[in-house]
Amino acid sequence: MRKRTWTVIIATIGILLLLELSFILWGRSKTTTDAYKISSLHKSITGCEIIPKSFSLSNKTSQQGKNNSDKTSDVSFPSYEETIRAEEDSISVVNNPTSVLVMVNKQRKLPDNYIPPKLVIPNVRFSFNEIVEKRYLREVAAVPLEKMFKQAEEEGYILYGVSGYRSYNRQIAVFKMHEQELGEEKAREVSSVPGSSEHQTGLSIDISSESAKFLLSTEFGSTPEGKWVKENAHKFGFIIRYPEDKTKITGYSFEPWHIRYVGIQHATYLYKHNLALEEAIK
Ligand SMILES: [Zn+2]
């Protein structure tokens, strides 16, 4: 009798272990929905959670842009060709203006009169007091900018916003001003043709510091604040869009003050591999 009781106990434990093992294996099956169902069933019976492998993986992928700055192995960029809609006056017009990975430069411009969605004023210090267009940024970039400025301040570096969003019409005015002063050819060098300014995306902002006299000059890159930005911007999803060693690739001279939001995952990838956006979007 006693022997029979022991056999029953051992057999029950064995069955339970097998059941648990199969739950774990099923819970890690490849299909997200199946794995999730098994995991829920297991939780309802035992009260314990099996994290479905595929579920947690897909979850991780969607959160990478927010939290995980080291996972850069599966970063992908859109291709050059698939993000072009048309050609206008020998400049391509992009078809993904609202994407945080949109690439505009001297060969690629935004659709005329493009206005980005959700422009907001980031709660950061600016080098001026007026509430004007250049104070705005897309919300998707404004929130990370606030975090970056806050972190910089905690480490003793005070950053200032100088120029964020610039509308198509404003860029026309800026370009015309340069054109009248310098002629068309020179104007194209120092300023963007309307539609091809990154500031029109609402994802870029020029920043400076008191040590750089609030100016947008290459000296900002040598200040403690500029150096901090260079080494830390990617952690918040920003890149130095026109690096010193990439002027031939970007078509722009070195602008340590011009940062552009692309998301943490992509910014970290570009930073770690020392790539300009043009080298990733080919
Ligand atoms: Zn700029």
Q: Mean per-residue pLDDT for 80-85?
A: 96
Considering the domain architecture, whether residues 122 and 14 belong to the same structural domain is answered as no
19 lies in a domain?
yes
Q: Mean per-residue pLDDT for 50-61?
A: 32
Active site residues: 255
Higher pLDDT, 148 or 8: 148
Q: pLDDT tens, 201-258?
A: 999 999 999 999 999 999 999 999 999 999 999 999 999 999 999 999 999 999 999 9
152 lies in a domain?
yes
Considering the domain architecture, whether residues 30 and 131 belong to the same structural domain is answered as no
At what angle are helices 224-232 and 139-154 packed, to 10 degrees?
130
Q: What residues have CB less than 8 Å from 148, skipping those under 6 apart?
A: 159, 232, 233, 235, 236, 238
Beta strands at 108-109 and 91-94: parallel, antiparallel or unpaired = parallel
Considering the domain architecture, whether residues 256 and 208 belong to the same structural domain is answered as yes
Considering the domain architecture, whether residues 165 and 197 belong to the same structural domain is answered as yes
Residues with CB under 5 A from ligand 1 (ion): 206, 258
Q: Is 211 exposed, middle or buried (0-12, 13-18, 19+ CB in 10 A)?
A: middle
pLDDT at residue number 9 = 75
Considering the domain architecture, whether residues 10 and 95 belong to the same structural domain is answered as no
Considering the domain architecture, whether residues 35 and 86 belong to the same structural domain is answered as no
Q: 33 pLDDT exceeds 80?
A: no
Concatenated DSSP letters for 178-238? HHHHH-HHHHHHHSPPTT--GGGGT-EEEEE-GGGTT--SGGGGGSHHHHHHHHHGGGGTE
Considering the domain architecture, whether residues 233 and 147 belong to the same structural domain is answered as yes
Last residue of a domain, one of 34, 64, 94: 64
Distance 187 CA to ligand 1 centre (A): 15
pLDDT, mean over the chain? 84
Distance 259 CA to ligand 1 centre (A): 7
Q: How many domains does the chain have?
A: 2
189 lies in a domain?
yes
Distance 90 CA to ligand 1 centre (A): 23
Distance 61 CA to ligand 1 centre (A): 31
Distance 258 CA to ligand 1 centre (A): 4
CATH code of the domain containing 241: 3.30.1380.10
Distance 199 CA to ligand 1 centre (A): 6
pLDDT at residue number 47 = 46
70 lies in a domain?
no
Percent of the chain with pLDDT over 70: 77
Q: 37 pLDDT exceeds 80?
A: no
pLDDT at residue number 90 = 85
Strand, helix or coil for residue 119: strand
71 lies in a domain?
no
Q: pLDDT tens, 149-190?
A: 999 999 999 999 999 999 999 999 999 999 999 999 888 877
* Residue 194: domain span: 81-280
pLDDT at residue number 16 = 65
pLDDT at residue number 25 = 52
Q: Is 249 exposed, middle or buried (0-12, 13-18, 19+ CB in 10 A)?
A: middle
CA distances in angstroms from 49 to 14, 34, 56, 157, listed in the order given: 21, 15, 12, 44
pLDDT at residue number 188 = 83
Considering the domain architecture, whether residues 256 and 128 belong to the same structural domain is answered as yes
Distance 242 CA to ligand 1 centre (A): 9
* CA 265/CA 230 separation, integer angstroms: 16
Considering the domain architecture, whether residues 115 and 233 belong to the same structural domain is answered as yes
14 lies in a domain?
yes
Considering the domain architecture, whether residues 50 and 88 belong to the same structural domain is answered as no
pLDDT band for 73, please (50, 70, 90 cuts).
low
Distance 260 CA to ligand 1 centre (A): 9
Considering the domain architecture, whether residues 85 and 60 belong to the same structural domain is answered as no
Considering the domain architecture, whether residues 93 and 211 belong to the same structural domain is answered as yes
Higher pLDDT, 214 or 87: 214
